[in-house]
Structure 1
Amino acid sequence: MDQDMMVSWIEAGTIQIPVLLMQKYRSLGLDEKELSLILQILAYKEKGNVFPTPEQIAENMTITHNECSSILRKLVQHEMLKIEQQSDKGLGFDQYSLTPLWYKLAEEMMKERKQDNFRNVLEAEQDLYTIFENEFGRPLSPMECESLAMWIDHDGQDPTLIKAALKEAVMSNTLNFRYIDRILFEWKKNGIQTVEQAKIHSSKFRQKTKASKPTHSTSKTMPVYNWLEQ
């Protein structure tokens, strides 16, 4: 999700900010007093007061207005809060903007999402090595491990497509890395990006191969194998 899009949703009220802040404020480097002050600013904004004074904010908290002023300055210095000058019908006024905080919140959420994606990819890769070793019936050699890593890191192959290519090799009784690499190369050359596309492409290839064989041939043809089925 794009940061700007997330911030626009936040400012439009699509995303419930108090809930997100309660979950993420420590990750953003905020303490409980700073969080409470920010929530007070949000509450005043909902009531139409876009620039409450430190005295007004402190009335709803257990701090003095001097401490409130100090926290406000700190939030501005740490780019969690900024004061904007606005005008309405020729009259100028100040207002608090929490947009800098929303960007930090969006960045934190995207960082966590990337970490989750990385964790999922890592687990998929580890699962991939296990599947290959089970099919080959032995530990993979260093060269074979390097080939797997190259498919993922250099060629950008999806682990699910690599699994599908492995199944193709198994069904073709050609279980070796060179053959699997040829399958992956063929799929990439033809723009295959999903397992479903690979299934259709392989089916068409087998039908074409079967049709090109002489009708008097006694050799057995390779059956169309649905390697999507577990």
Structure 2
Amino acid sequence: MDFFQAYLAAGQVSVPRMILKHYHELGMDAEELVFWLELYAYQEKGAYPDLNQVAQSMGITQTRVFQLLAQADQKQHLRLVTQKDAQGKQTDTYDFRPLFEKLTKLYQQQAQTKSAQATADKVSNLYKTFEQEFGRPLSPLEFERIAGWLNEDHYDPELIRLALKEAVTHQARNLSYIDRILLNWESKNIRNKEEVAQEQSRRKLQIMQKAADKTGNQAQDDSLPPVTLHNPFKED
């Protein structure tokens, strides 16, 4: 058998890149990872792992192989499962789902951490924006009130920033005015940037319509003939 035939006969192993990237965070060292991959390769071929062959492939003793197997089970990298076939014969196999379950939890935890950090950055930038627009440091009471919007009223930092922008547009740099804006938006179920933009467009259209109606009424009044107070039936 030449090299190419031997290469094809050995088969391929599909290794999840996320496991290679995060195996340290999953509680594995390099040796434990290689051991897990050796067993996983047998699983992909549909064969039960030959631990003697695994020991030879890794260049370690059989005793060390059994130690690694015990560690893998203890750390929940795999579990040994006993199954029965149709004839009632028991066979042992390895279940690799525990490691994938740990990987899923790790991913979720990291996603939550990133989300929390992003929110913290938004809050920090929000306080800075208030101080820039007010042209001075915020007072403790102002910090407390903004914190109340975030933690008690659960307003999104971006929504508060937009309310601040709206207040600045109307030359009203105070928290009471901003609070009224937020309450007004809440009553209209406005909760994000897109809905704020829609509300502002709607208000602008209303103002333009009122101005057009007023101009039209004024033009109509100007086109009417002057009304005389002279009574044509009364003799001079």
* TM-score tier (shorter): 0.7 to 0.9
| Counterparts of 1:34 and 1:132, CA distance in 2 | 52
**CA 1:194/1:30 → structure 2, altered by over 3 Å: closer, same or farther?**
same
Deviation at 1:18, TM superposition (A): 3.7
Q: Which residue of 2 aligns with 1:129?
A: 127
Q: Does 1:73 align with 2:73?
A: no
Q: Which residue of 2 aligns with 1:215?
A: 214
Structure 2 CA distance for aligned equivalents of residues 201 and 18 of structure 1: 47
Cα offsets for 1:190-230 (capped at 9, x unmatched): 222220101112332454466568938xxxxxxxxxxxxxx
TM-score, scaled relative to structure 1: 0.79
Higher RCO, 1 vs 2 (CA within 8 Å, ≥6 residues apart):
1
Rounded Cα–Cα distance in structure 1 between residues aligned with 2:55 and 2:41: 13
Query: TM-score, normalised to structure 2's length?
Result: 0.77
Q: Does 1:198 align with 2:216?
A: no
Aligned amino acid, residue 215 of structure 1: K
Gaps of 5+ in 1: 1-15, 217-230
Q: Helix, strand or coil for the counterpart of 2:214?
A: coil
The answer to whether 1:179 aligns with 2:158 is: no
Instruction: Give 1 or 2 for the bigger CA radius of gyration.
Output: 2
The farther-off stretch of 37-46 and 87-96 is 87-96
Partner of 1:4: none
Q: How does 1:109-128 map to 2 (within 5 A)?
A: 109-128=107-126
Contact map agreement 2:82 2:91 (CA 8 A) in 1: yes
- Structure 2 portions without partners, runs of 5+: 1-13, 216-236
**Identical residues among aligned pairs (%):** 34
CA contact (8 A) 1:86 1:93 kept: yes
- Structure 1 residue 62 corresponds to structure 2 residue 59: yes
| Maintained 8 Å contact 1:18/1:39 | no
- Mapped to 2, the partners of 1:210 and 1:179 lie a distance apart of 24
Q: What RMSD over aligned residues (CA atoms) do the two structures have, in Å?
A: 2.1
Cα separation, 1, equivalents of 2:15 and 2:122: 34
Contact 2:27 2:75 in 1 (8 A): no
- 29, 35, 42: which is aligned to 2:27? 29
Q: Following the alignment from structure 1 to structure 2, what is the Cα–Cα distance between the partners of residues 116 and 159?
A: 16
Deviation at 1:54, TM superposition (A): 1.9
For residues 15 and 183 of structure 2, the distance between their equivalents in structure 1, rounded to whole angstroms, comes to 47
Say how many residue pairs are matched: 200
Alignment of 1:4-43 (within 5 A): 17-43=15-41
Amino acid at match of 2:195: Q
Contact 1:152/1:159, CA 8 A, preserved across alignment: yes
Q: How many angstroms apart in 1 are the aligned matches of 2:152 and 2:75? A: 40
Greater Cα offset, 91-100 or 63-72: 91-100
Query: Structure 1 residue 82: deviation in Å?
Result: 0.5
